[in-house]
C-alpha cells in the first residue's frame, strides 16, 4: 500500500468518514490550554515519529490531514522517511516535522492514536495472511470495527495484505439466520429480496447466504447467490459443504477463527475466511513522537 493506495481508498464516503474521525478526535481533546499558556505563537519545535518495535506502518498520510484540520499544515515542514505500508525496524524515524510548538503538541496524541491503531490492525492482519500462505484461501475482514473507524480499519487490513468484506449493509445483502428463520427458509428469504428489487428502479446488490447445515448449503446453491458462508461449521462439515458449491459461487468460512485454527479452516477449501479479531482485537503498534524545542537564532 502506497500514498497512491491511500488516496484511492479514501475517496467519497471513505474520505468524509476519515475527516470526521479526525475532527472528532481533535474536538475530544479540546484546546491545549497548558501549551497555550507555556508556549508563545512564535515558538517552534521539531518532532520525530519513531517506531518502538518492528512493525508495518499504516496511516502516515493522516499526519498531514491532522495538521490540515488544525490549520497548521502550511506552517509545518513535513518529511516522511518511509513509504506507507512499509515494514520498519525498531528505532526507525518514520516522519520528521518542524512547526509551531502549540500545533505539534496538540496534534501529537491524535496522530499517534491513528498510526498506532492502524499499524496494529495491519500487523495482526499480516500474521493471519502469513498463516494462509500456500493456500488458495484469502483473508476477509468484517463489520466488527470500532464505531466511526470502519473505513480506516478496513484500509489498514489492506495494508496488512487482507481483503475487505462489505463496508456497510447496502454494499452486499446478507441473509443471516434471523432473516432465514423469519422468512420460513432460504428460498422464501431470497424471494423476499427479489421482490423488493424487482421493479427495475433499484438494482439488487450481490447476495451472500449464511448456512449452518449441509441442507441449507444445498438450498442456497439452488438460489445462485454471489457467495455462500459456512457459519461455525467444523472442518469436516465444511469440506463436505464445499463439494456442494459449484464454480461461480464464492465460499466463505466464518465463526471463531483464530491463528491456531485458520490452517484447518483453509484446508477445507473456502475461497475466503473472515476474521473479526483483526479489527476489533488488534493490539496497537508502539510509536512515539519525540519533540524538541528550536532555539531562536
The CATH number of residue 288's host domain is 3.90.1170.20
**Apex 47 CA angle, 115 and 50, nearest 5:** 45
Domain count of the fold of the chain: 2
Rounded to whole angstroms, the Cα distance separating 7 from 261 reads: 35
Clarify whether residues 155 and 210 are in a common domain.
yes
Spot the catalytic one: 108, 210, 216, 252. 210
Catalytic site includes residue 224 = no
Clarify whether residues 177 and 264 are in a common domain.
yes
Q: 138 - beta bridge partners?
A: 272
Clarify whether residues 125 and 172 are in a common domain.
no
Tell me whether residue 21 is exposed, middle or buried, using C-beta atoms within 10 angstroms of its C-beta: 0 to 12, 13 to 18, 19 or more: buried
Reference 147, options 241, 51, 279, 56; nearest CA is 279
Residue 202: the pLDDT is: 66
Residue 204: the pLDDT is: 86
Residue where the block lists cell 512493525: 55
- How do the pLDDT tens digits run along the chain, 297 residues long? 567 899 999 999 999 999 999 999 999 999 999 999 999 999 999 999 999 999 999 999 999 999 999 999 999 999 999 999 999 999 999 999 999 999 999 999 999 999 999 999 999 999 999 999 999 999 999 999 999 999 999 999 999 999 999 999 999 999 999 999 999 999 999 999 999 887 655 678 999 999 999 999 999 999 999 999 999 999 999 999 999 999 999 999 999 899 999 999 999 999 999 999 999 999 999 999 999 988 764
Q: Cβ neighbours of residue 110 under 8 Å, at least 6 residues apart?
A: 22, 25, 26, 29, 66
Clarify whether residues 140 and 252 are in a common domain.
yes
Clarify whether residues 266 and 138 are in a common domain.
yes
**Residue 108's domain spans which residues?**
3-129+283-294
Reference 240, options 206, 203, 214, 270; nearest CA is 214
What is the rounded end-to-end Cα distance, in angstroms, of the chain? 41
Clarify whether residues 71 and 184 are in a common domain.
no
Tell me whether residue 162 is exposed, middle or buried, using C-beta atoms within 10 angstroms of its C-beta: 0 to 12, 13 to 18, 19 or more: buried
Spot the catalytic one: 46, 87, 144, 277. 144
Residue 256: the pLDDT is: 87
Indicate yes or no: pTM above 0.85.
yes
Find out whether 8 and 85 touch, Cβ atoms under 8 Å.
no
Strand positions, DSSP E, the chain: 44-51, 55-56, 77-80, 87-88, 93-100, 138-140, 173-175, 207-211, 227-231, 250-254, 272-274, 287-294
Clarify whether residues 37 and 64 are in a common domain.
yes
Find out whether 162 and 128 touch, Cβ atoms under 8 Å.
yes
Catalytic site includes residue 109 = yes
Spot the catalytic one: 176, 239, 240, 277. 176
Clarify whether residues 100 and 149 are in a common domain.
no
Spot the catalytic one: 98, 109, 143, 212. 109
Clarify whether residues 107 and 177 are in a common domain.
no
Residue 4: the pLDDT is: 84
Spot the catalytic one: 227, 231, 242, 252. 231
- Give the CATH number of the domain where residue 179 resides: 3.20.20.70
Catalytic site includes residue 171 = no
Residue where the block lists cell 474520505: 15
Clarify whether residues 138 and 275 are in a common domain.
yes
Clarify whether residues 107 and 10 are in a common domain.
yes
Reference 195, options 173, 176, 210, 214; nearest CA is 173
Clarify whether residues 163 and 32 are in a common domain.
no
Amino acid at each position: 500500500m502506497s500514498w497512491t493506495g491511500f488516496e484511492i481508498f479514501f475517496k467519497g464516503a471513505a474520505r468524509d468518514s476519515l475527516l470526521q474521525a479526525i475532527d472528532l478526535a481533535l474536538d475530544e481533546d479540546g484546546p491545549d490550554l497548558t501549551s497555550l499558556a507555556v508556549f508563545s505563537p512564535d515558538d517552534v519545535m521539531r518532532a520525530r515519529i519513531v517506531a518502538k518495535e518492528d512493525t508495518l506502518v499504516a496511516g502516515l498520510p493522516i499526519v498531514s490531514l491532522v495538521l490540515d484540520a488544525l490549520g497548521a499544515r502550511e506552517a509545518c515542514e513535513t518529511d516522511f522517511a518511509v513509504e506507507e505500508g512499509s515494514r520498519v525496524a525498531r528505532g526507525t524515524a518514520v516522519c520528521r516535522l518542524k512547526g509551531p510548538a502549540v500545533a505539534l503538541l496538540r496534534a501529537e496524541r491524535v496522530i499517534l492514536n491513528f498510526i498506532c491503531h492502524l499499524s496494529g490492525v495491519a500487523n495482526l492482519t499480516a500474521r493471519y495472511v502469513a498463516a494462509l500462505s500456500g493456500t488458495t484461501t484469502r483473508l476477509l475482514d468484517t463489520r466488527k470495527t470500532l464505531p466511526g473507524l470502519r473505513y480506516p480499519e478496513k484500509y489498514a487490513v489492506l495494508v496488512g495484505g487482507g481483503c475487505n468484506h462489505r463496508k456497510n449493509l447496502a454494499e452486499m445483502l446478507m441473509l443471516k439466520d434471523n432473516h432465514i428463520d423469519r422468512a420460513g427458509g432460504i428460498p422464501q428469504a431470497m424471494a423476499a429480496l427479489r421482490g423488493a428489487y424487482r421493479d427495475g428502479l433499484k438494482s439488487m446488490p450481490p447476495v451472500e447466504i449464511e448456512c449452518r447445515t449441509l441442507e441449507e448449503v444445498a438450498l442456497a446453491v439452488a438460489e445462485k447467490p454471489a457467495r455462500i458462508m459456512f457459519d461455525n461449521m467444523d472442518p469436516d462439515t465444511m469440506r463436505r459443504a464445499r463439494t456442494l458449491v459449484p464454480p461461480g459461487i464464492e465460499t466463505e468460512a466464518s465463526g471463531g477463527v483464530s491463528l491456531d485454527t485458520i490452517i484447518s479452516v483453509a484446508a477445507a477449501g473456502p475461497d475466503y475466511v473472515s476474521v473479526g479479531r483483526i479489527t476489533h482485537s488488534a493490539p496497537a503498534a508502539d510509536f512515539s513522537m519525540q519533540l524538541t524545542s528550536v532555539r531562536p537564532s
